[in-house]
Every structure is written in structure tokens, then in C-alpha cells.
């Protein structure tokens, strides 16, 4: 379509050797797809999605990609990963087979499905590698379009590293902001809102991103007719285009045939030059792409593509076209290419075999060991026949999984429950070891257990002196953020109204002027990309505090918090981290969308993040200080109506910490334990005072952090004393109160200390109604707390506590 940059001085030459090298990579990649599909069909892998038909565009992108750059792409990018040399064919197959060894499958250690690429950006101890010395890829996700929001931050980080003087020294993360963020996305995924929000944000931030759209005309079976208005994504994007020859706002937009090798190289070189030098973004629409194998191994595209389309796809297959072009240009003959193809196929097959052997041999070996133990046990058992049946069944599985071994062990141990055969202990030991290794294989790294863990931050008590002033809550936070910005140049705060106004509640008041518009910044109303921006920046070594203006609007970013941020460390088995702090405020303002408390939805969706619910701003400051001393992602929910309460400012506002997972007893009592958090602390404490006058001593506990929850079982200690417990919050029935109940009664073993049935006191099932009366009848209030507690006491001693009504 355009070429606004015809005069850009781009010099890039390729020789015949380079071309043949590229052809070899592309051909190998195609064979990897074909063989990968065959492996799935043969039952050796569970699912396959491949990059066939999109090889040539990726060769061109790889040529523009340099050290320090980042890719944020999707499952079609295998050729690119091969071409930049961060993925081997053997590793590609190791992922297909779900190999759990990080050395064999370094992207996800078998945790994500195939086609989910990632580089290892952290050292084994969780510390950062020098990202400027390597080619980087953010860890892929399956939800289509979710790779886009973090692209905003990956690109924006370059801008910050170049423009912000305090960041110049961080050469481990950036070389003067020269890095480009390369995004890839399918045509159909451009129908997602995340795509448009991200493009707009990149345009507004004017940062070096190159977004490549692979247009194969389809999203599974649904053609562009149903995906894209006018069926043409680059035409639709025209409003984002920067006028030719001008260096003002917008994107350079290129449309190029996805099979046209020389044109693709030229376009990527131009786009990369502009991005690196001018920090301006581009969109490359690579059309006329195909899917030789159809969408994935789940079905065949013959079901939904016409004969004509299928014939066209054969003719326009980018590899076929590339081959013709090589011959036409006289770079190689048909015979020479046939030879390259033969060698390439052989090499792919060899690497597939290596990957398979390395995956399956340890499993075969484990099976042998278990069978030998069963043989040892059988002669002394009355169940020998049954045991041999279990053994034979295991032996006859052609390609066993470890779960087959685990099942067999358990079957044997159940059969032997009444027998004391010495060799049985070997099997029990084996089972225990397998359980432990499986924990590491599949469940490690949900949170960090390294020195960057937020759980390792030592307690520093707040210090108060005679001179400690009494301030409004927002002023306390303001002092905390001021100290944090001064202490850590990598700390960047942003969100709606955060910059100029200093946030709607003023916690950043005056800090933009003090620390610059780079460090304290406004954003558009775009919660998903505020979060994505934070993830991308954090992936590049920055420490974002991303603000979502109200808790009720967190839902727009919750999908990415759940899919990307919370899973990142786990899904790369410690290969990548994004220490984002999401800051929001909620509870008890007015109406449905300013006083919601969607806590259970949140805590259940973001395991892998910490969720903190400070009841006041000193508490919030202590928790922020803790988070900023570590490098893990967290969500902090401040109490909306506490900004105007007065609190004493600790003298060490920038240093004191509150360890995560440590509840605080905010009122001592011996009759009943009331467990709550956030805004409810105030209501429950008020209720406790009234209960005191009724002769009931309540112990009120603020859990302070929902994830992690009471790591040292302080609530259990209280329950041991009182024998009675009520869990109170503003969430729906069965929501976070049920979560807290499970934590204390089931996990902490609280059930055996109960003298009365445990109770939950949540809000109503509906959202909070407007007005003071709406609030009173929607959420728990002091009277309800009083009555709930009193009724529990009535049940224990009706004479001492006669009914109110």
C-alpha cells in the first residue's frame, strides 16, 4: 500500500549463500510441521499447531531482528525462532512431546502446548540475564490477541531507556533504547478488541513496535468476510497511517505478499530502520498466505475451503514461490534445491528421533524399574496373579506416560494393603519420589522461591516519634511513592489521571513535576493495555506501578492478569518474570460500579500473583515497600474511603515493610474470632465495640493479604483461644469468605477447635445498590455483624444471651 519511506537509507544485501541458508531453514521448518502433524496422528503427541505456509515472511523478520529486540508473537512463529537461532528442531519436537526437562524444552519445560515459544531471560536463581546480549521472545499465550497488549510495554520500554536520563545506566536491559518490539498476529485475531486497543496505544506512545499481520484469509474455518470489515485489515488501518514523508504521528503501513521473499526483506529492513532511529512504529500486512496443513491437528481444512481456494493455496504456497524465485534468479538449480531438501528432511527426521528418544527413554527405564519391583514383590504375595496382570498391562502400553506408571504403582499398593512384604517399601519410596518430582515438573514456580521472592523481604517496623505528623491517608501514600521514586530509577508509575493530576485521589500529587513525565505518566482509558504496557515494561527490567482507576474496572485487565502475568513464571518454569505492581482502589463509594468487591473472581483467577488488601494507607505503604524490595507481580487494592482519614506518618515511610501473609490482630478478644480485611475492618471493629457492651469479647483480625493467606496460622491460634469464628467481607456469598473459611477450617485444621459452627457474613449476591440505603441493604453493616455474632453466642448460652427479637 504505502511507501512513505522510499528515501530511507536502508542498505541490506543478501548473497546466494544467505538465500540458500534461508531456504534450508524454511524447508526444515516445513518438514518439522509435516512430521509434527504425523507424530500427533500416530499418537506420540497430543496436539499440534504449526507454522506451515508462513515461513518466508518470518525469514525476512528474522533478518531485521537484533540482539536486545523482543518478539511478542503467536503459535505460527517457529520459522522465525529457528532463523534467529533460539530454537532448535530438536527442542521444537521436545515441546511437541511435552518433555518436562528444561534443558530439552527450554521455553516452557513441557508446560505449554507446542508452538508456544519463549527465550530464557533469567538465570537459574531468578536474576536477570543481560537482555541486550540475546535475542528475546516473550512467552507465548494461546488466547488470540493477548500477545498485543504487552507489545505496547515492550516497545515503550525502548522509549523510556532512551529518553529518561535516570535509566541510561541500565545497560543490561537496553542499549540506548535501540531495541524494537516485534509483534505477530493472525488476520482473524485482528478482530479482537485487544488488537485495536494495542495499536492505538502504540500510536499514542509513538514507540518502536513492528506489528506483522499474517493474513491467510482465515481464522480456523471462518474467512475474512466474517472477521474484518471490508475484508482488508490494512485498508481498515489506514486511519493510523502516518502521512508520507512526514515524521509526525502514526504508523508506516506496508502491504506485501507473504510469499515475496525480496520484497519482504526490503519492507522489514525499512520498517526496522525507522523504528530504531526514529522510534516510530510500523504495521506490515503480509497477505496471500496459506495453511498447507490446515489450522491444526484438530481437523482438516478440506471441510471448509473450496476446491478453488485449496488449489490457489497450493500454487501460492510461500515455499513453492520461494523455490521458483531462487531458480528464476539463478541462485540454485532445481537439482541443487532437491539436494538441500533431501539433506534438510534427513536432518529434521534425525532431530525428531533424538527428541523422541530423549523424551521416551527415561520413561521406558522407569517402567522397567517398576516392573522389576513388581516381579520382586509377586512371589511373596497372595495377590501374585493380580500383580502380574497390572505389570502386563503396563508392559503392553506402546508409548507409556508417567501417569501409567503412577497408576500401576497405586494399583499394586492397593492390592497389597493387607500384606507386609519388604519390597513393598521400595514401591512406596518410588511413589513418594515420583510425587515429589512431579511437583517440580508440573507445579513449581507459581511464585518465586528465589531471593527475589516477596516472601523473603524482612520485617522493618514503622518508626514513630513525637514529630511524626498526622496526615491524610493520601498524603501518607504520596510520601511512600515519593521515597520509592527517589530510591529506584526503574520505578515508573502510570495510569488514567496518574500524571498531571497525581491520580484521582492524589497519591502521586506533585510527583510528575518532581520526577518527570516519563516516571509518572497519564494514559488513555485502556485498562487492558495499561496492564499489557506494564507487563512488557517489566519484561524489560522496569518496575511499573500500573494503576487501574477503580477496582470495578479491573475486569478489563483481569483476563491478561490471569492469562499472562499470573502464569508467566510458572509457564516458563522460571524463564521469565514480570514484576508488575497493579494498583487500584475499591470498596464502599457509591453505586454498582464504584463500590464493587469482586474479590473471589480476582483471587481465583490470578494465582501466581499476590493480592493485598490494606485497610488503611500506612498499611498500604508498608506493603508497597515490601513489594518494591522484591520482584514478583502483585495487585494492591486500596480502600477508597480511607484516603481522607488521618493517619500518623511513620518516620521511615520509605523503608518500613509488612511481610506478606501476616494477619494483624486489630482487637483482642476471647469469645469469638472475626476475620476480615480492607474496608470491612472498620465496620467489624465498630461492631466489636458494641458487642463488648453486650458482654462479648471479639478478636478482630485483618488478614491484610489474601494471596498469600496467613502463612503462620495466626488465625488458627486465635481460634484455639475462642473456638468460634466468623468470616466477613463485601464479596458475594460463597466468595472470598468461603475462601477464607477453607483456608482456616480445612487447611489450617481449624475444624477441630470449633465450639460453634463457623459462619460467613458476605454481601448480597447482587451488586451494591446506589445510595446510603442501597449500601446498607447490599453490604454487611455493623448491625449485621453484631447480630450474627450475638446469635452464635445465643446458640451456646440462650440464658446469658437472650434473643434481641
Ligand X SMILES: Cc1ncc(C[n+]2csc(CCOP(=O)(O)OP(=O)(O)O)c2C)c(N)n1
Residue 144's binding partner out of Mg ion, ligand X, none, with CB under 5 to 8 Å set by partner kind: ligand X
Closest to ligand X by CB, 144 or 567: 144
How far apart CA 36 and CA 49 sit, in angstroms, is 9
Minimum distance of ligand X from residue 218's CB (angstroms) = 5
Among the residue ranges 218-226, 576-584, 597-605, 618-626, the one whose residues contact ligand X (CB under 6 A): 218-226
How far apart CA 577 and CA 389 sit, in angstroms, is 47
| Dihedral Cα 788, 789, 792, 796, nearest 10 deg | -150
How far apart CA 294 and CA 298 sit, in angstroms, is 9
Site for Mg ion in 131-190 (CB under 5 A): 186-188
Minimum distance of ligand X from residue 630's CB (angstroms) = 31
Whether 226 is catalytic is no
Residue 386's binding partner out of Mg ion, ligand X, none, with CB under 5 to 8 Å set by partner kind: none
Interaction pattern, residues 271-300, with ligand X; x per rule: CB under 6 A: ------------------------x-----
Residue 583's binding partner out of Mg ion, ligand X, none, with CB under 5 to 8 Å set by partner kind: none
Closest to Mg ion by CB, 74 or 97: 74
Interaction pattern, residues 562-581, with Mg ion; x per rule: CB under 5 A: --------------------
Closest to 730 (Cα-Cα) out of 642, 598, 554, 555:
598
Closest to Mg ion by CB, 126 or 258: 258
How far apart CA 108 and CA 141 sit, in angstroms, is 11
User: Each residue of 290-324: b (16+ CB within 10 Å) or e?
Assistant: bbbbbbbbeeebeeebeeeeeeebeebbbbebbbe
Residue owning grid cell 531462487: 326
Closest to Mg ion by CB, 219 or 544: 219
Site for ligand X in 173-202 (CB under 6 A): 186-189
Residue owning grid cell 532512551: 162
How far apart CA 117 and CA 132 sit, in angstroms, is 19
Cβ neighbours of residue 311 closer than 8 Å, sequence gap 6 or more: none
Number of chain positions touching Mg ion (CB under 5 A): 5
Among the residue ranges 212-220, 491-499, 667-675, 729-737, the one whose residues contact ligand X (CB under 6 A): 212-220
Give strand ranges (E) for 135-208. 136-137, 181-186
Closest to Mg ion by CB, 127 or 314: 314
Minimum distance of Mg ion from residue 187's CB (angstroms) = 4
Minimum distance of ligand X from residue 310's CB (angstroms) = 15
Question: 210: which strand partners?
Answer: 182, 282
Minimum distance of Mg ion from residue 233's CB (angstroms) = 10
Contact between 527 and 534 under an 8 Å Cβ cutoff? The reply is no
**Residue number with the smallest Cβ distance to ligand X:** 186
Is residue 216 at the binding interface for Mg ion, with CB under 5 A as the rule? Answer: yes
Residue 570's binding partner out of ligand X, Mg ion, none, with CB under 5 to 8 Å set by partner kind: none
Compute φ and ψ for 362, nearest 5 degrees: -60, -30
Is residue 20 at the binding interface for ligand X, with CB under 6 A as the rule? Answer: no
Minimum distance of Mg ion from residue 215's CB (angstroms) = 7
Is 99 in a helix, a strand, or coil? Answer: coil
Residue 142's binding partner out of Mg ion, ligand X, none, with CB under 5 to 8 Å set by partner kind: ligand X
Query: ω before 708 within 30° of 0 (cis)?
Result: yes
Number of chain positions touching ligand X (CB under 6 A): 14
Contact between 165 and 487 under an 8 Å Cβ cutoff? The reply is no
Q: How many CA atoms lie within 13 A of 105 on its CB side?
A: 28
Residue 784's binding partner out of Mg ion, ligand X, none, with CB under 5 to 8 Å set by partner kind: none
**Residue number with the smallest Cβ distance to Mg ion:** 186
Minimum distance of ligand X from residue 108's CB (angstroms) = 16
CA distances from 462 to 66, 182, 481 (A): 47, 45, 16
How far apart CA 349 and CA 212 sit, in angstroms, is 31
Is residue 76 at the binding interface for ligand X, with CB under 6 A as the rule? Answer: yes
Closest to Mg ion by CB, 186 or 596: 186
Cβ neighbours of residue 228 closer than 8 Å, sequence gap 6 or more: 187, 188, 190, 191, 236
Residue 30's binding partner out of ligand X, Mg ion, none, with CB under 5 to 8 Å set by partner kind: none
Contact between 545 and 498 under an 8 Å Cβ cutoff? The reply is no
Is residue 142 at the binding interface for ligand X, with CB under 6 A as the rule? Answer: yes
How far apart CA 682 and CA 334 sit, in angstroms, is 80
**The one catalytic residue among 116, 594, 713, 766:** 594
Minimum distance of ligand X from residue 597's CB (angstroms) = 27
Q: How many CA atoms lie within 13 A of 772 on its CB side?
A: 0
Cβ atoms within 10 Å, residue 166: 16
| Dihedral Cα 597, 599, 602, 606, nearest 10 deg | 150
Residue owning grid cell 497519591: 507
Supply 597's cell numbers.
468487591
Is residue 219 at the binding interface for ligand X, with CB under 6 A as the rule? Answer: yes
Is residue 236 at the binding interface for ligand X, with CB under 6 A as the rule? Answer: no
Minimum distance of ligand X from residue 183's CB (angstroms) = 13
Contact between 349 and 35 under an 8 Å Cβ cutoff? The reply is yes
Closest to Mg ion by CB, 36 or 219: 219
Contact residue for ligand X among 14, 20, 220, 371 (CB under 6 A): 220
Is residue 51 at the binding interface for Mg ion, with CB under 5 A as the rule? Answer: no
Minimum distance of ligand X from residue 770's CB (angstroms) = 34
Among the residue ranges 136-144, 161-169, 672-680, 789-797, the one whose residues contact ligand X (CB under 6 A): 136-144
Is residue 52 at the binding interface for Mg ion, with CB under 5 A as the rule? Answer: no
| Residue ranges that bind Mg ion, judged by CB under 5 A | 186-188, 216, 218
- Give residues in contact with ligand X (CB under 6 A): 76, 142-144, 186-189, 214, 216, 218-220, 295
Q: Which residues are catalytic?
A: 594
Amino acid at each position: 500500500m504505502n511507501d512513505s519511506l522510499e528515501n530511507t537509507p536502508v542498505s541490506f544485501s543478501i548473497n546466494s549463500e544467505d538465500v540458500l541458508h534461508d531456504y534450508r531453514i524454511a524447508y526444515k521448518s516445513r518438514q518439522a510441521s509435516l512430521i509434527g502433524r504425523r507424530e500427533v496422528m500416530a499418537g506420540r503427541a497430543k496436539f499440534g499447531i504449526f507454522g506451515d505456509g508462513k515461513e518466508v515472511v518470518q525469514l525476512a523478520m528474522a533478518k531485521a531482528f537484533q540482539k536486545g529486540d523482543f518478539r511478542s508473537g503467536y503459535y505460527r512463529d517457529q520459522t522465525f525462532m529457528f532463523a534467529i537461532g533460539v530454537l532448535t528442531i530438536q527442542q521444537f519436537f521436545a515441546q511437541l512431546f511435552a518433555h518436562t526437562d528444561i534443558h530439552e524444552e527450554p521455553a516452557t519445560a513441557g508446560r505449554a502446548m507446542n508452538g508456544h515459544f519463549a527465550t530464557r531471560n533469567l538465570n537459574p536463581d531468578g536474576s536477570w540475564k543481560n537482555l541486550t546480549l540475546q535475542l528475546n521472545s516473550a512467552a507465548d499465550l494461546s488466547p488470540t490477541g493477548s500477545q498485543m497488549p504487552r507489545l505496547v510495554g515492550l516497545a515503550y520500554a525502548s522509549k523510556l531507556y532512551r529518553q529518561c536520563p535516570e535509566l541510561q545506566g541500565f545497560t543490561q536491559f537496553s542499549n540506548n533504547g535501540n531495541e524494537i518490539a516485534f509483534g505477530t498476529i493472525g488476520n482473524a485475531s485482528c478482530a479482537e478488541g485487544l488488537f485495536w486497543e494495542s495499536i492505538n496505544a502504540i500510536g499514542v506512545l509513538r514507540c518502536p513496535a513492528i506489528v506483522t499481520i499474517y493474513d491467510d484469509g482465515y481464522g480456523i474455518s471462518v474467512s475474512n468476510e466474517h472477521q474484518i470489515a471490508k475484508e482488508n485489515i490494512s485498508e481498515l488501518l489506514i486511519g493510523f497511517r502516518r502521512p508520507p514523508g512526514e515524521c509526525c504521528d502514526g504508523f508506516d503501513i506496508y502491504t506485501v505478499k507473504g510469499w515475496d521473499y525480496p520484497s519482504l526483506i526490503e519492507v522489514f529492513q525499512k520498517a526496522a530502520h525507522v523504528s530504531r532511529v526514529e522510534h516510530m512504529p510500523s504495521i506490515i500486512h503480509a497477505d496471500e498466505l496459506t495453511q498447507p496443513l490446515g489450522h491444526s491437528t484438530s481437523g482438516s481444512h478440506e471441510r471448509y475451503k473450496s476446491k478453488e481456494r485449496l488449489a490457489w493455496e497450493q500454487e501460492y504456497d510461500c515455499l513453492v514461490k520461494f523455490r521458483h524465485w531462487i531458480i528464476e534468479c539463478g541462485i540454485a538449480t532445481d537439482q541443487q534445491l532437491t539436494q538441500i531438501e533431501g539433506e534438510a528432511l534427513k536432518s529434521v527426521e534425525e532431530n525428531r528421533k533424538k527428541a523422541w528418544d530423549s523424551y521416551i527413554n527415561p520413561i521406558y527405564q522407569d517402567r522397567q524399574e517398576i516392573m522389576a519391583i513388581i516381579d520382586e514383590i509377586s512371589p511373596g504375595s497372595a495377590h501374585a496373579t493380580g500383580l502380574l496382570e497390572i505389570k502386563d498391562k503396563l508392559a503392553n502400553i506402546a508409548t507409556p506416560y508417567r501417569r501409567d506408571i503412577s497408576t500401576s504403582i497405586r494399583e499394586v499398593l492397593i492390592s497389597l494393603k493387607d500384606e507386609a512384604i519388604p519390597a513393598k517399601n521400595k514401591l512406596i519410596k518410588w511413589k513418594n519420589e515420583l510425587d515429589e518430582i512431579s511437583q517440580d515438573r508440573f507445579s513449581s514456580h507459581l511464585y518465586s522461591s528465589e531471593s527475589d521472592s516477596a516472601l523473603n523481604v524482612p520485617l522493618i517496623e514503622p518508626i514513630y516519634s513525637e514529630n511524626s505528623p498526622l496526615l491524610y491517608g493520601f498524603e501518607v501514600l504520596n510520601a511512600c511513592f515519593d521515597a520509592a521514586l527517589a530510591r529506584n530509577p526503574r520505578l515508573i508509575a502510570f495510569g488514567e489521571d496518574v500524571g498531571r493530576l497525581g491520580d484521582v485521589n492524589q497519591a502521586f500529587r506533585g510527583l510528575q513535576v518532581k520526577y518527570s513525565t516519563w516516571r509518572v505518566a497519564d494514559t488513555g482509558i485502556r485498562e487492558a493495555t495499561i496492564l499489557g504496557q506494564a507487563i512488557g515494561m517489566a519484561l524489560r527490567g522496569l518496575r511499573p506501578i500500573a494503576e487501574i482507576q477503580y477496582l470495578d474496572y479491573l475486569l478489563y485487565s483481569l483476563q491478561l492478569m490471569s492469562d499472562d502475568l499470573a502464569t508467566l513464571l510458572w509457564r516458563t518454569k522460571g524463564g521469565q518474570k514480570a514484576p508488575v505492581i497493579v494498583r487500584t482502589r475499591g470498596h464502599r463509594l457509591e453505586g454498582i460500579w464504584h463500590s464493587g468487591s469482586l474479590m473471589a473472581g480476582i483471587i481465583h483467577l490470578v494465582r501466581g500473583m499476590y493480592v493485598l488488601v490494606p485497610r488503611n494507607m500506612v498499611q498500604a505503604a508498608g506493603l508497597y515497600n515490601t513489594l518494591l524490595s522484591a520482584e514478583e507481580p502483585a495487585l494492591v487494592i486500596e480502600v477508597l474511603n480511607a484516603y481522607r482519614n488521618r493517619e500518623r506518618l511513620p518516620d521511615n515511610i520509605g523503608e518500613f515493610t509488612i511481610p506478606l501473609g501476616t494477619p494483624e490482630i486489630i482487637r483482642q478478644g476471647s469469645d469469638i474470632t472475626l476475620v476480615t480485611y480492607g474496608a470491612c475492618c472498620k465496620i467489624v471493629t465498630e461492631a466489636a465495640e458494641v458487642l463488648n457492651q453486650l458482654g462479648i469479647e471479639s478478636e478482630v483480625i485483618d488478614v491484610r493479604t489474601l494471596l498469600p493467606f496467613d502463612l503462620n496460622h495466626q488465625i488458627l491460634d486465635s481460634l484455639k483461644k475462642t473456638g468460634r469464628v466468623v468470616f466477613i467481607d463485601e464479596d458475594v456469598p460463597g466468595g472470598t469468605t468461603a475462601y477464607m473459611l477453607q483456608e482456616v477450617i480445612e487447611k489450617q485444621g481449624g475444624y477441630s477447635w470449633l465450639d460453634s459452627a463457623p459462619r460467613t457474613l458476605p454481601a448480597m449476591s447482587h451488586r451494591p445498590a446506589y445510595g446510603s440505603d442501597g449500601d446498607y441493604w447490599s453490604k454487611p453493616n455493623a448491625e449485621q455483624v453484631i447480630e450474627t455474632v450475638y446469635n452464635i453466642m445465643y446458640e451456646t448460652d440462650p440464658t446469658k444471651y437472650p434473643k434481641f427479637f
